[in-house]
Amino acid sequence: MLINFIYTNYVSMSCIIPHIIQYQGSKRILAPQILPFMPFKFNRLLEPFAGMAAITIAVAKEHRAKEYFINDINGPIVSILEKAINKPAELTNSYSKIWSEQFEFYPDDISHFYYIRDCFNNGDKTPENMLYLLARCVKGSVRYGKNGNFNQSPDKRRHGSNPDKISNNVHAISNLLKGKAHLSSVDYREILTLSKPGDLVYMDPPYQGVSKTRDKRYIAGLDYQEFVDSIEFLDHKGIDYLISYDGICGGIKYGSELPGHLNCKKILLDAGLSTQSTLLGKRNLTYEALYISKNLYPYIEQNQRRSSLFN
């Protein structure tokens, strides 16, 4: 069921949410619109498709939960978060060394990127190597070839995030999550089995249309029916959840909606101008769907009263 309003919150806290690196698909910018649909306090937040854990970090910034379960099937991504939280100085010092090398030890910075990428693909999948590849690659986008190797190209216009900036953010994240975060790289359904009443699950699975099989954007696919079954599992256990799933860009819907028999309602969040369409000289507005479980319905009503934008 689609609730007939688009929620926009331009009093943005995204500028003060620490983030390790620009990451395509991150919900850091949308966090100020997502958090108002959560309880102000709850026991644990579970993020089975965490990526760079933008929602977890935003929730921790507001001290809403006692514990945080951060999971992503992409192990090297999780390794960045684990080291950032538990050994921030070690991560930032190692990243600074790699970042500086592009200016000092190679004929040009582009060849340095490809050298680090080759090291990574040949087994040296350290958190600092992955962090540098993300910092320097096009759009902060993780992409893999059919052989499973990282194959994204470098952004030739920039040299990647400055180590000082990354250090400040990494230490801020460590201060928020150290001693409170449990990190893993397993199938999302394993994380859902850990959920208990009083927890909140936030899921941001891979975009539909690109995630049925292994492809260049994601390290593993997502089966639609298995995902629906997992939501039914949460409903049966009485677990509260929020799901970012389908949406609209330039007036065109992308992705299939979750089926109506699920115990949730759908709203649209204003995600602003599409970055991809802007690069093509267009100005397409993007709206991302947020599905909300039954016990969180009162937050829909509260935010509907606050919203001044209606379909």
Q: Where are the domains of the chain?
A: 2-73+186-306, 89-166
Least confidently predicted of 130-139, 255-264, 297-306 = 297-306
User: Is the pLDDT at 219 greater than 90, yes or no?
Assistant: no
Other CB atoms within 10 A of residue 41 CB: 10
Average pLDDT for 43-47: 98
How is domain 2-73+186-306 classified at the CATH fold level?
Rossmann fold (3.40.50)
* Fold that domain 89-166 belongs to in CATH: Adenine-specific Methyltransferase; domain 2 (1.10.1020)
Is the pLDDT at 32 greater than 70? The verdict is yes
Q: Among 3-17, 162-176, 193-207, 256-270, which stretch is predicted with the lowest mean pLDDT?
A: 3-17
pLDDT at 280 over 50: no
Mean pLDDT of 82-96: 98
Q: Is 71 exposed, middle or buried (0-12, 13-18, 19+ CB in 10 A)?
A: buried
Of the listed ranges 49-63, 75-89, 295-309, the least confidently predicted one is 295-309
Whether the pLDDT of residue 1 is over 80: the answer is no
**In the predicted model, is pLDDT for residue 135 greater than 70?**
yes
Mean model confidence pLDDT for the chain: 86
Distance of CA 112 to the CA centre of its chain: 27
What pLDDT shows up at residue 4? 58
> Which is more confident, 246 or 102?
102
CA–CA separation, 259 and 75 (whole Å): 31
From 77-81, 192-196, 208-212, 274-278, the region with the lowest mean pLDDT: 208-212
Q: Which residues of 195-234 are buried (b: 16+ CB within 10 A; e: fewer)?
A: beeebbbbbbbbbbeebeeebebbbeebeeeebeebbeeb
One fold for both 2-73+186-306 and 89-166? no
pTM of the model: 0.89
